[in-house]
Amino acid sequence: MISITSWNINSVRLRMPIVAQFLEQEAPDILCLQEIKCQEHQFPYKAFEELGYKHFAVHGQKGYHGVATVSRIPITEFSRHDWQDNGEARHVGVELTGDEAGALKGMVLENVYIPAGGDEPDREINMKFGQKLDFLERMTRWADKVDRPTMIVGDFNIAPLESDVWNHKQLLKVVSHTPIEVDTLQRFKDAHGWTDVGREFIRDPERYYSWWSYRAKDWRANDRGRRLDHMWASPELAAQATGHRILEDARDWEKPSDHIPITTEFAS
């Protein structure tokens, strides 16, 4: 079995203690982090190596954004796409290259952090919202040409289904759940025929959230969550998935991220 986790960590250096807690407890083979908020030379390589994760693909920048994929099994950096079209570090792709990957050897694992999009769902008055839609359109053009088993994971910053949010009607005009975002994400999905792996195991309309705002004093009692984090795979790759799990308890850990880790397991 090979397990892959995605987690928007909201500063890897600040939250390295809970990253270590997660890796010791759950021990995924590969961990894809978003919003690492550090430059590549500042990444805590040694801390990961001490935990048995010795393979890295890190695309960082000073203070903001940034993605990193760390692994116990051999990986090789495969790509860095500038879907934001302004040089921001929001993507890194790797190929699983070691025999330890078994049947998954040769698959491509894309790690992405899609922009949040600001507060107003109108590109005429909110440049960030337009950037988000354009980012997705560039991803869609890329996806249309994907021709090998690929998985794309990360913080998509869109909750597409009604059961992905705490209140569908109240959030229809809130960035992350607006119809234009959902439609734009659907075009990306259709471009390669991606399978939403999480929803293969946690079936709609079952509640599935991966993010709760820091603004809520008691996130569990409030439970105003959204599923912003996703793991999508090429159909032939998705067919090899054997399980998918989320760790809501991580939202209660000391100095938590506002996102929780999500994990997919594959037969290897």
pLDDT of residue 9: 98
Element (H, E) at 179: helix 179-192
For 58-91, how does the pLDDT look when each residue is reduced to its tens digit (9 = 90+)?
Answer: 999 999 999 999 999 999 999 999 999 999 999 9
Burial of 102-132, coded b for 16+ CB within 10 Å and e otherwise, reads: eebbebbbbbbbbbbbbeebebeebeebbbb
Q: How many domains does the chain have?
A: 1
Cis peptide, bond prior to residue 160, ω within 30 of zero: no
Say yes or no to pLDDT of 119 above 90.
yes
The enclosing domain of 35 has a CATH number of 3.60.10.10
The contacts of residue 218 (CB under 8 Å, 6+ apart) are none
Domain that holds residue 94: 2-266
Token output for 8:
């928007």
pLDDT of residue 126: 97
Query: Computed from CA positions of residues 36, 89, 227, 73, in that sequence, does the dihedral angle turn out positive or negative?
Result: negative
One-letter amino acid at 254 equals: E
Say yes or no to pLDDT of 268 above 90.
no
Q: Of the ranges 52-56, 98-102, 143-147, 167-171, which one carries the lowest mean pLDDT score?
A: 98-102
User: What confidence category does residue 21 fall into, taking pLDDT thresholds of 50, 70 and 90?
Assistant: very high
For 225-257, how does the pLDDT look when each residue is reduced to its tens digit (9 = 90+)?
Answer: 999 999 999 999 999 999 999 999 999 999 999
What are the DSSP calls for 118-178, one per residue?
-S-S-TTT-HHHHHHHHHHHHHHHHHTT--S-EEEEEE-----SGGGBS-HHHHTTSTTS-
Say yes or no to pLDDT of 217 above 90.
no
Place of tokens 């850990």: 253
Does residue 30 contact residue 69 with C-beta atoms inside 8 Å? yes
